[in-house]
Each structure stands twice: as structure tokens, then as C-alpha cells.
Structure 1
Amino acid sequence: MRKLSNTLSVLLFLMISTILFSTVDGNCFWYGDPGDPIIPYYEPSDDVVRPLHDYIHNNVYPRLTYAFLTFDNRGTDRGLTVYDKSKAYDGYTLLGSLAPVDENGLPWELDNSVGRPYSAILIDMEGNIVNKWQVAGFPAKMLPGGYVMGGVGTGVPGHLEDRALVQQDWCGNEVWRYEASVDPDKEIEDEDGNIIKFDGGLRMHHDFQREGNPVGYYAPGMHANTDGGKTLILIHDDPDEDTSHISNFPLEDDAIREVDWEGNVIWEWHPYEHFDECGFSDIAKEAIMTIQSGAGIIGATFPENDWQHINAVSYLGPNRWYRNGDERFHPDNIIWDGRTSNMTAIVARYDDPEGRWQSGDIVWKIGPDFVPGTKEHRLGQIIGQHMAHMIPQGLPGEGNILMFDNGGLAGWGSYFPGLPPMYPTVFRDYSRVIEFNPVTMEMEWEYVLKTPNEDGRKFFSWFISGAQRLKNGNTMITEGSTGRVFEVTQKGEIVWEYISPFGSINEQTGLSGPGMVYRAYRVPKGWVPQNAKCEKQK
């Protein structure tokens, strides 16, 4: 290709600048949005590449970041704001609250033995608090009989993780615990050069599942075990092996671990060992190699590269694809999604009978790229997604993939073909909840609101969040960053809405802020004990 002329370079620069700041319609893809013009590959000269790259990185990206971080579309109402009894699915709602204070702005009572406020909060359909537990809401999940699971204690500070995963009964008494350390022998230097023990306990984060139910929410005939069975846990892991072929920085990697009721490790999977199966382009690999993104920092000498940031892990469970002979969708296989990479994948638990893969191989994926020519292009660009899972058997849409496509900022690669490696590379200022066929990649259902409605709200949470399919066909959505939890019909009608009043307090200013909710789950009324009398264990 010939080099661009100076005149064309200026015109291209102006055109791109216009696109970057034109977000009135909420459509701010760099590429990959079906129906939008596709910017072709070009081979610009250095006098175009560096100024364009620097302009985007130094001016556009910080403005987008600031806008996303400060965006709050909740309005002034708090608590229950919508309830159509004739259309909403009756039950209780468990909020995984990330707020340290109650609805009156007062700190939750804190039990130092667990190091957690009451972050798992159960409300009824009217928004009244029914019960609360001192476990992390990152996430918290309810089991039949009024049991709740969540994290307790602090792992490595600043890494959004917990020292142990526990199960508590209705009264908050602990009935099960797992906290085997991931890195029991690791040592690091603090900022003064002293050797300290790297012991964050389990380092559990973002997701877990108890055997009996594949996804952690109600599905007919699939109740999670409460007194036995396996537990699937997502944990942080800093590999001891040499990972310099992946990144110049130490990796903040993840591990997916399955343990039995006694805490014995049955199975474990590490993403970094499957780097070559992820399908990163050469420019994306260069970005992962040279750029540090997203992880916490221990002291001043231990920067890590959070190259995947997996936030969801679940079993596939019984499904129509496997019944029809597609071995990729074995019920025991594991689906996960990476927020940083824009990638969702399924991992095999067993060797393929026909020798096409071995246990641990990635057998299905979408992303990390959604560019023209890829099978996933028809879905549109997915960015920073959360809670990707297969809708369980017995629910409307069973077998389809449901996820909260956050938008915001994510992705490894370059801003445009021909520009230097960078993270993030794709941006969008609204969220979507999408349901699609994992075989054909056809979109089956979508909830989206690109522009503000008459109340000045739009649908957008660029981090945390999730979606649950309900028995009546409605979808329960957690717009996490605003603390908004709502139920929509297949036609998009909001029939129940609750906006968390559990605010957070900025210690420097004393000002209150949004009461973020990591995830919320609607549970059947039959799961809640009636007239229970509680006695706390001593």
C-alpha cells in the first residue's frame, strides 16, 4: 500500500477525532459493530502513527475513563421504584452489596472475627430487609434452606479477593469452610526490601459454584447441595513458572479449582498454561507483553499484569447441544469469561473420544476479537463482559449463552490497524444484556438502552454486574455500578426495580456515593425458612 499523503493524513485525523467524540447515539465502537462503516487497514507513515496514537492515548482515553468512572444514572429514587405484581417473578432477592454502610448512612455492625460487614442482604419484593449475612457480596449466593455462601477475611490487599469461602446457615452460623492457600510458600520483597510471606489464604474472587446447580441461581430440579458435594472456585494465582514468553511483568493469573466437601483438590486449571489457545493476534500479544494493566500492586516493587481478569466460572450443566452429540458442551465442562481480554471460553474436563482435544483444552470460545470475518462479528463488539453462562435446563432459553456485556474499556491490541500496541483498545458508553446461540452465534435476545430515557437514565455499568434468567421468562439484571437491580420481560418492559440505598462513604470528603451491587439473585420463597429462631454459635 502507498503511504498516505499529508492532506489525507490530516483528513483522516479529523475524521477519527470526530468519531471519537461523537457519542450522542451511544455508539462508540472502534470497529465490529454490524452496520457501521469499517475503517480499513492502512500503512501510515511515522508522522501520522505516533501523533494519532499519542492523541488518543493522552486525550481521548483519559476523558473516557473519567466519564465512565463518574457516571451515575440512578436518579434520586432509592429502594423499590417499580413493582408490577402481575408480571414480576415472586420471590426474594439476595443483593451482593459492596457498600460498607446501611441505608441511613451508618456503618454496618462489623464482626472482627470475619472481617466483613453485612454484605449479603436479602430483601422481599417490597424492598424490605429480611435477613443479612457477614460474608462478602463479591458474590454472595443463596442455597435452598436459607444457607448463604460468600467470602470472608482479606486475601492479598488491593486484589479484590477473600481469604476463605464459607457457607453459613440462616442464622449466620458457619457450617462449611475452605481456605487452602494457593501460594503457601511464595515470598516477596516489600518496598523496603524485606522478605515477607505471600499468604492471602485462598484468594477466592468473583465466582464459585456448589455441585447440584451449574450456575448458582434457581433452575427447576437443580438445587445446589447444602451438606456435601463438590465446589468450583475461582481464585487468584501468581505462577511460579517462567511466564516471560507472555509478559514482561509478573502475571496476576487465575486458577479454577474444584474441591470436594472435605477440601481435597479434585481438579485445577490455569489460564496462562493455555495462552496459545486464546487466539490473540500478534499485536495483542505484543500489548500483553509490554503493557501492565489492571492488577493490584504489593508494595512498590511487585506490579502485575492482569491479562485476563476472569470474573465468572460455572458448569455448563445438562443441555440440548450435548444431548444432540456435540461433545464441546459436555455438562461437566467449564465456561468462563475474561473481562480484560473480552474473551469467553469453554474448557474440556475430559479427553475427546475422537482425539480432537484433551482435558483442559479450550474447546469453544468467542473473542478476543470481534472484527469482520470472525464468527462472533454478528454479535457486535463485546467489551468487559460479566457473568457469561449457559442458561440452565428447565428455564426459557436453555442452552443459550447469557451475559452482561458491560461496555466501558477493555481489549488488547491497537487502537487502529497500523498503530502501536495498547490496552484498552475498544470503548463503548452503554451496556447490553445479550442471549445468543453458542453454535450459530445468532442473537436470540438483547436488552439495551443506548441513549437516556425520559428520566435521563441510560443502561450502563462498565464493571461488575450480571443477568439471571427467571422461570417465567423474564430476566433479572444487575446494573452493578449504580446499585440498580431490575427485572425485564422479553419485550424489555421493566416490571420490578430496586435501587440500592446502601451508600458508600468517601473517607476523605465524607460524601456519600452509589451503593454498588456486584450481583443480585432472585430466589424462590420456598428457600427461606419461616419463623426461624436463631441462636448464634459461641
Structure 2
Amino acid sequence: MPTQRARWVSAAATTSMIALAGCGMGSDLSGPSAPATPYVLFTPIQSNATYLMDLEGQLVHRWVAASTAACSVYLLENGQILRPRSLGPGSFAGGGCNGGVVEILDWDGRVQWSYQYSGPTFQQHHDVRRMPNGHVLMVAWEIKTAAEARAVGRNADTIPSSGVIWVDHVIEVDPQTSRIVWEWHAWDHLLDPGDDPAEHPERIDPNARATAASDWTHVNAVDYNPGLDQVMVSSRNFSEIWIVDHGTTTDEAAGHAGGRRGRGGDLLFRWGSPGNYGLPAPQQLFGQHNAHWVEGNLSGAGQILIFNNGDRNSRPYSTVVQIAPTLGADGVYAYDAVAGFLPTAPASEYAAKPPESLFAPIISGAQRLISGNTLVCAGTEGRFLEVTPEGDTAWSYRVTDTTGKTGVQVFRATRVEGDDPALAGRTLVPQGPVQAELVQ
């Protein structure tokens, strides 16, 4: 098999080309031998099961839920998992990763907490995030009617034939009480009719990315930064990440003043597509997933890591980008009247060569590891890669189903280090190769 090559490109350094060994067709595992202690956690799309495997592809534990996963899954420090599961599409057919229920399962798969957020006009979907205080952030759609859309300035010819638009919001739920304690709605922060988008980047233009599809904003990830007390969401359809102030009451989050930053729930920062707010600067994100702040003990701490999916027509390849927004002493993100929110380019970017050899147009993610390497999940292929800062592949794996077939879709994969508190005292014995059990 010809040698593949890849690169990490630093904004401050010249491009270097480094060998990248691709996954061979005859084997699901490749790369040098690795210590057996790290594990990988993932849930295949169309599966009720969540798997924990070692780096040899051996199953060491699994959890099985009552219905298929709604994409994301997190291992908590006590060995429980937090994951949404699907109630079916309901009013939101075609959106993908339809959830509706968020659950915490103990190590043995017993439900310890369950919260349903689904109805005819709203539904949880895609991602959740546990906060340091134990609360859970959830992404959800809500339906707006054609009349509501016209009232906020949406062009009538871009209102879907369905007569409804799905718009995202975020809720914060306290598992101790199962009550919503905070929420933020994108619909509350639309540009006023007649205003110039370039003069109000803190607002969302109701006509930006307006298509015939009902699923307008399509948020696929949520994260929380406790140091900043800010929430970040990834809007796939806008090809942007948005950051808002969490230091608000729910009433303040619905308005344009108040909170820790004095701007209510308006956008504090957005990045990826300046054209969405009327600027000519080039688009940098393309249907991205898994935008999150790099944790404080890892390389690049405080910066934002993103799987940049690409576009089938204009950019048929995927990269992993890391950006370093500039936050002033006054708490305001740096902004340029021409370029928009800074930076103008990623601090670093990983790309395969040829670029098209890594292309996952939907789902997928990336995670910075304690070693400084990065775990990449090419979700549409069910392919996981661990790449070094120099661009070498340290490990790779392809998920197979019960028939041995590859191409099992995985929303996201997460490395769990062997000394993680969640694994303390657990018996982790290899049980044979992982074979993803899919629900047809």
C-alpha cells in the first residue's frame, strides 16, 4: 500500500510533510504497539450499545440502553455514563441524532437518572454536557411557525414548504430536581428587521443560511468553560461556533443586556463564516462537529479544538483545526471590522495528504490527549486515528459490525486513560474483538 502523508500546520511555522500510515484493507488495526492501559469509548450510530475497548480492539465493557443512542456519550468520574437516547424522530424527522431522553446509566447499565425533553414542538438532540456542578446542558430543537418567521424578518420565499423552522436552544437541567435552571434560545437573538448584519455581529441574521430545509441552525455540540462561565455551541448549518454568557439569569439570557459580560444572551463570539454577518472574509469552517475547549492540563489548553468536516461540493476533505481566540482584559473577544472575530486563521491544523483521504462529511470529532497527541474520529467510516503533533499516526482502528463489515458510523470517540478515576477498581478483561451490534 502506498505511504500516505499528512501534516499539522502551525500558523507560526512553515508546513512540514510527515509520513502517515493509512489503515490497511486487510487489517482493522495498524501502527506501532501501544500500551494496553488506555481505552476508547464510543457508541455506534444505530446501536443501543456503548463500548469501552482497549487499543487492541478488545471489548472490556459495554452498556446497553433501551433504545438507540442519540449520538454523544460521556464517561463520568464514578464509572457511570451520560448519554441521550432516541425516542424516534417525532416532529423532527430528517434532523439526525433525534434524542428526547437523556440518561445516566451505572456501570452495570441500570438507569440512575432519566430526563425526557420531547414534545410536538421541541426535542433534545445530538449532544449534552455535564457541568462541574453536576448539572447537564442539553441541545434541543424548537419549532417556529411561518408566521413567526415572517414576523422576525425571514424572507417569505425561504420559508420551508413544511411551514415550520427548527431553531436550537440550550437548557441546563439539575439532575437532583430534574428542573430546568437556565436556558438560552437562538431565536431570542435574531437581527432586528432592517438592521445591517455587519453592524450587529452579536445577532443572528434570520436570513443567513436560509434554505428550504426546516432544520435551520442544526447545533451538534455544546461545551461549557467554567473559568469563563461561557457556553459554546457548534452550528453545523451555519458553519460557525457561537459563544454566549452563562453568567446570566434565564431572563437576561433572553435579552441583550445583563449578565457577567453585560450583553445578555447575545453572541459574545462567533467564528467560522464571517459572511453570515455580512463580512467578506473567507469561510473557515465547513459543517464542523465536536467544537470544545481544550482542558487545562492538555497541550493547547484554553484553545478551541474542532473537527472541520468539509463539504461534498466545494471542500471534499476534513481537517482538525485549533483556534486561539483573543480575549481582552475587559472580557471582550477581539474583533476586526473586515475580518470579523479573530483569529483570522487557526493556530494549527491537521490535514491528510492527499486531503481527500480523510473526509467525513457528517458526524466525527477530535480530542486532545494527555500525551499531546490528538484522537481523530472519522465518523462516517468508523475510523479512529491517533496523530502526533508532527502528523505521524501512532494508532488506528476501524469499527466492524457483527458480520465483520466496516463502515459502521460513529458520532464521536473518546480516549479514556487507564488511570481515569472512572475505572478505579473495575475489572477490565479483554472479551474478544468489538463487534458493533446495530439496530436495523
TM over 0.5: yes
What is aligned with 2:129? 209
The count of aligned residue pairs is 357
What is aligned with 2:159? 248
In the alignment, does 2:56 pair up with 1:126? yes
Question: In the TM superposition, what are the counterparts of 1:246-325 in structure 2 within 5 Å?
Answer: 246=154, 248-249=159-160, 250-261=164-175, 262-276=177-191, 286=207, 288-289=209-210, 291-293=211-213, 305-318=214-227
Higher strand proportion (structure 1 or 2): 2
1:407 to 310, 315, 319: 310
After superposition, what is the alpha-carbon deviation per residue over 1:329-383, rounded to whole angstroms, capped at 9, x for unaligned? x2x2101111111111101123678996432111111143369x96964xx6311
Shift, 1:514, TM fit: 1.4
What is aligned with 1:179? 116
Shift, 1:90, TM fit: 4.6
Q: Report the structure number with the largest CA radius of gyration.
A: 1
TM-score for the superposition, normalised by structure 1:
0.60
In 2, Cα distance between equivalents of 1:513 and 1:203: 31
In the alignment, does 2:414 pair up with 1:518? no
Q: 1:367 to 1:531 in 2, by over 3 A?
A: closer
Structure 2 segments unaligned to the other structure (5+ residues): 1-21, 200-204, 249-256, 327-341, 430-440
> Residue 243 of structure 1: SS of its match in structure 2?
helix
Question: In the TM superposition, what are the counterparts of 1:32-431 in structure 2 within 5 Å?
Answer: 76-77=25-26, 79-85=28-34, 90-100=37-47, 117-118=48-49, 120-135=50-65, 136=69, 138-157=71-90, 158=93, 159=95, 160-181=97-118, 183=119, 198=120, 203-212=123-132, 229-239=134-144, 242-244=148-150, 245-246=153-154, 248-249=159-160, 250-261=164-175, 262-276=177-191, 286=207, 288-289=209-210, 291-293=211-213, 305-318=214-227, 330=228, 332-350=229-247, 357-369=262-274, 377=282, 381-409=284-312, 427-431=314-318
What is aligned with 2:427? 531
In 1, Cα distance between equivalents of 2:110 and 2:291: 31
Q: 1:518 to 1:210 in 2, by over 3 A?
A: same
In 2, Cα distance between equivalents of 1:357 and 1:504: 56
Higher helix proportion (structure 1 or 2): 1
Which letter maps to 1:272? W
What is aligned with 1:106? none
Which letter maps to 2:125? H
Shift, 1:488, TM fit: 0.8
What is aligned with 1:473? 372
Which letter maps to 1:164? V
> Residue 306 of structure 2: SS of its match in structure 1?
strand
> Residue 380 of structure 2: SS of its match in structure 1?
helix
Which letter maps to 2:148? D
In 2, Cα distance between equivalents of 1:279 and 1:430: 33
> Residue 273 of structure 2: SS of its match in structure 1?
coil
Q: 1:209 to 1:349 in 2, by over 3 A?
A: same
In 2, Cα distance between equivalents of 1:366 and 1:513: 34
Structure 1 segments unaligned to the other structure (5+ residues): 1-72, 101-116, 184-197, 213-224, 294-304, 319-329, 410-425, 506-511, 534-538
Contact (CA 8 Å) 1:74, 1:482: kept in 2 or not? Answer: no
Which letter maps to 1:81? S
Contact (CA 8 Å) 2:137, 2:173: kept in 1 or not? Answer: yes
> Residue 272 of structure 1: SS of its match in structure 2?
helix
Q: 1:153 to 1:99 in 2, by over 3 A?
A: closer
TM-score for the superposition, normalised by structure 2:
0.72
What is aligned with 2:202? none
> Residue 108 of structure 2: SS of its match in structure 1?
coil
Shift, 1:273, TM fit: 2.0
In 2, Cα distance between equivalents of 1:405 and 1:134: 30
Contact (CA 8 Å) 2:232, 2:241: kept in 1 or not? Answer: yes
Q: 1:370 to 1:85 in 2, by over 3 A?
A: farther
In 2, Cα distance between equivalents of 1:286 and 1:362: 17
Shift, 1:137, TM fit: 5.8
> Residue 237 of structure 1: SS of its match in structure 2?
strand
Contact (CA 8 Å) 1:503, 1:514: kept in 2 or not? Answer: no
What is aligned with 2:346? 443
In 1, Cα distance between equivalents of 2:402 and 2:212: 32
| Alpha-carbon RMSD | 3.4
What is aligned with 1:487? 386
In 1, Cα distance between equivalents of 2:260 and 2:83: 39
